[in-house]
Amino acid sequence: MRALLIAFTFLTRIPFPQPQNVTTEEFTRSQRYYPLIGLFLGGILWSTAALAGIFYPPLAVAAIVLALEIILTGGLHLDGFMDSMDGLLSARTPERMLAIMKDSRVGAHASITLAVLLILKFSLIASFDPRSYYFLVLPPMLARWAFLIAVIHFPYARKEGLGKGFHESGRWVFFVAEGMILALLVYWIYGLAGISAILSALALVTLFSWRVARLLGGLTGDIYGAIIEITEVVVLLVIVAYL
């Protein structure tokens, strides 16, 4: 329960009691609970959309769901996405890209790509009808599971950092076990649309991580956040194609 609470307090801004005296080992091991956090977030988004859909049209529901997701997560992964895009799209040397990603200032690439990402998310959620809002559980859950491929398999680019501990403590056994459970549940509830979403998430994370690792020599915590955000959009794209 302590590890689960650590994961909740890191990935969300929901006011859970803060665990005291958290060790580095406890913090990094909590990553195995990330898919469960995604399931929890997705459940909140689904129930909110279902309730809002009684009173508001799809466009308003999409705006409410998107705003709520940002509030619940505190924009944690969006921050990583923006930093990553500033660096990756700068067309500089790998060393300079990493330096740009570490800079707290927001550049043009971050602003432009953030706008594109949010517009994509908004338009895709707005494509849902009230009977399909239960699909909103999938993007946050699958993204927080599939991104662990990047954590476990690909090297870390910096000598130190928050993400380095994640990389060193990642274990394939938990990833595979969680994946088998997810696949069974997703197929049972969502059918082929769910399986297609899982396969697309796995493909996206693997290819994106491989490309970035070749470019930078490894991944970073910001890249992990970017992967989660991009994977959510890819899962939404797959789902909408089945609606």
CA distance 111 to 169: 33
Dihedral (Cα; 96, 97, 102, 104), 10-degree rounding: 100
CA distance 192 to 134: 15
pLDDT for the residue 120: 96
Averages of pLDDT over runs of 10 residues in the chain (243 residues) are 80 81 73 89 96 94 96 91 89 85 83 94 94 94 92 79 56 81 91 93 94 90 92 95 89
Domain chopping of the chain, boundaries:
2-7+15-234
pLDDT for the residue 67: 96
pLDDT for the residue 47: 95
pTM value > 0.85: yes
Q: Report percent pLDDT > 90 for the chain.
A: 51
pLDDT per residue as tens digits for the range 157-179: 766 655 555 555 556 777 888 88
Nearest CA-CA partner of 189 in 238, 144, 140, 134? 134
CA distance 229 to 17: 26
Q: Which residues make beta-bridge pairs with 156?
A: 219
Rg, the chain, Cα only: 17
Q: Is 234 helix (H, G, I), strand (E, B) or coil?
A: helix
> Which residue, chain included where needed, has tokens 């997705």?
42
Using CA atoms, how far residue 88 sits from 50, 130, 191, 192, in Å, is: 38, 38, 36, 34
pLDDT for the residue 168: 57
